[in-house]
Structure 1
Amino acid sequence: MQLTQNFKLPSLYLRVAIGSAYLWEVADRLGVLGAHGRPHVGWGDWPHFVDYARQVMSFLPASVIPALATLATIGEAVFGFLILIGLFTRQAAIGSGILGFCFALAMAISFGIESPLGYSVFTLSAASILLASLPSYAWSIDSLLSHQKINKQLSIYQDKNGVETV
């Protein structure tokens, strides 16, 4: 029990850091954070993001880049949201780890190893894998659903065995 207690805050911190990072990037490429060229805006719109994706995946056929950019964005939005709210956390964290690792490899191939290291993309991938390996996720929908399931099973057990509840 003590081990689980020690992971409550780090688990929440990992979820917030990973989830918000993904959602921030998705918001940027969809123009929510402002127009391209504004301070603290990386892409500002979809066309600028797709241009960047072409650079990152320069070793792939140009015709597949828009589809892969779309899939990556959908993955980041879904994984980010699920991790942030703590629903299907383990599965979303595994997907996030794989997506981050693929992105880091693509950056390393196209720009050199210093790019994914400098932007901490391997770190995001590793943090996601670490999150997936934690035993539980405090303050999450997963935790709430788990407690409800346990309470329901306990209630069924008590009913079957004639145990009175107070």
Structure 2
Amino acid sequence: MKPYARAALWTALAVQAIWFVTQGSDAFGVCVLVALGAFAALSGRHPGTGVAVRVLMAADFLLSVGARFGAFGGPDTPGVTWGDFAHFTSYTRQVASFLPAALAPVLAVLATIAELGFALALLSGFQLRHAARGAACLLASFGISMTISLPVADQFHYCVFALAAAMLALSTVDRHPLSLDNALTRARARREANPVGRTLPCGKIT
């Protein structure tokens, strides 16, 4: 993990922890802080902590996408954030209140596509560096928009900036266990070590 990414992550975690101590937390917030704290502290020696962060972020994206399509109940279901895409579009209009209201449906669709794509990339471990950077940018844009348009408590409730910093940090990590990137790198190394058609000293073809 690069020093600037580590510093950003620890700063975001410290601010998030102070907010929780002063304003209260929930199970989701505690799990996020524990997972991201372990990643920040141990990723250099235990790359597996990055896997937990990937799964956590992917699950958060997928649950959010599911909620806007009624996977957990309709808009009137207790505990359900949106319940359908119309309510999510309305929420997008609130979050992006500084932009023309006509852009809300487009932004809602783009955000959904991006979250789903990043979730699948993080889970599979494919193009992780790019996926993590993209997720960091997306989350940072969410956090900034929420801070501008909504009560400041909203972005702290969802740990938006802490998760954004974690994705930035993840994009700087070199080793990614249990990932397609790792598997493809090993396969490429094996091919380079044993190229097809190489001529041996005895004249035989491998």
- TM-score, L = length of structure 2: 0.72
Mapped to 2, the partners of 1:110 and 1:161 lie a distance apart of 68
When the two chains are superposed, the root-mean-square deviation of aligned CA atoms in Å is 2.3
Post-superposition offset of 1:152? 0.5
Mapped to 1, the partners of 2:123 and 2:193 lie a distance apart of 29
Structure 1 runs of 4+ with >3 Å offset = 157-164
Residue 136 (1) aligns with residue 166 (2): no
Residue 72 (1) aligns with residue 111 (2): yes
Measured at CA, do residues 153 and 111 of structure 1 come closer, stay the same or move farther in structure 2, by a change above 3 Å? same
- In the alignment, is the contact (CA less than 8 A) between 1:7 and 1:134 conserved in 2? no
Mapped to 2, the partners of 1:4 and 1:61 lie a distance apart of 42
Structure 1 unaligned blocks of 5 or more? none
Residue 122 (1) aligns with residue 161 (2): yes
Mapped to 2, the partners of 1:106 and 1:145 lie a distance apart of 37
Mapped to 2, the partners of 1:144 and 1:90 lie a distance apart of 15
Post-superposition offset of 1:38? 1.5
Residue 20 (1) aligns with residue 59 (2): yes
**Equivalent pairs, count:** 162
Which segment drifts farther, 34-43 or 117-126? 34-43
Mapped to 2, the partners of 1:32 and 1:88 lie a distance apart of 28
Residue 104 (1) aligns with residue 135 (2): no
Say which structure is richer in helix: 1
Post-superposition offset of 1:159? 3.2
Post-superposition offset of 1:136? 1.7
Mapped to 1, the partners of 2:128 and 2:46 lie a distance apart of 14
Mapped to 1, the partners of 2:201 and 2:80 lie a distance apart of 63
- In the alignment, is the contact (CA less than 8 A) between 1:4 and 1:136 conserved in 2? no
- TM-score, L = length of structure 1: 0.89
Instruction: Give the aligned residue type for 2:56.
Output: A
- In the alignment, is the contact (CA less than 8 A) between 2:136 and 2:168 conserved in 1? yes
Post-superposition offset of 1:161? 6.2
- In the alignment, is the contact (CA less than 8 A) between 1:4 and 1:135 conserved in 2? no
Structure 2 unaligned blocks of 5 or more? 1-41
Task: Choose which of 36, 57, 68 in structure 2 pairs with 1:29.
Answer: 68
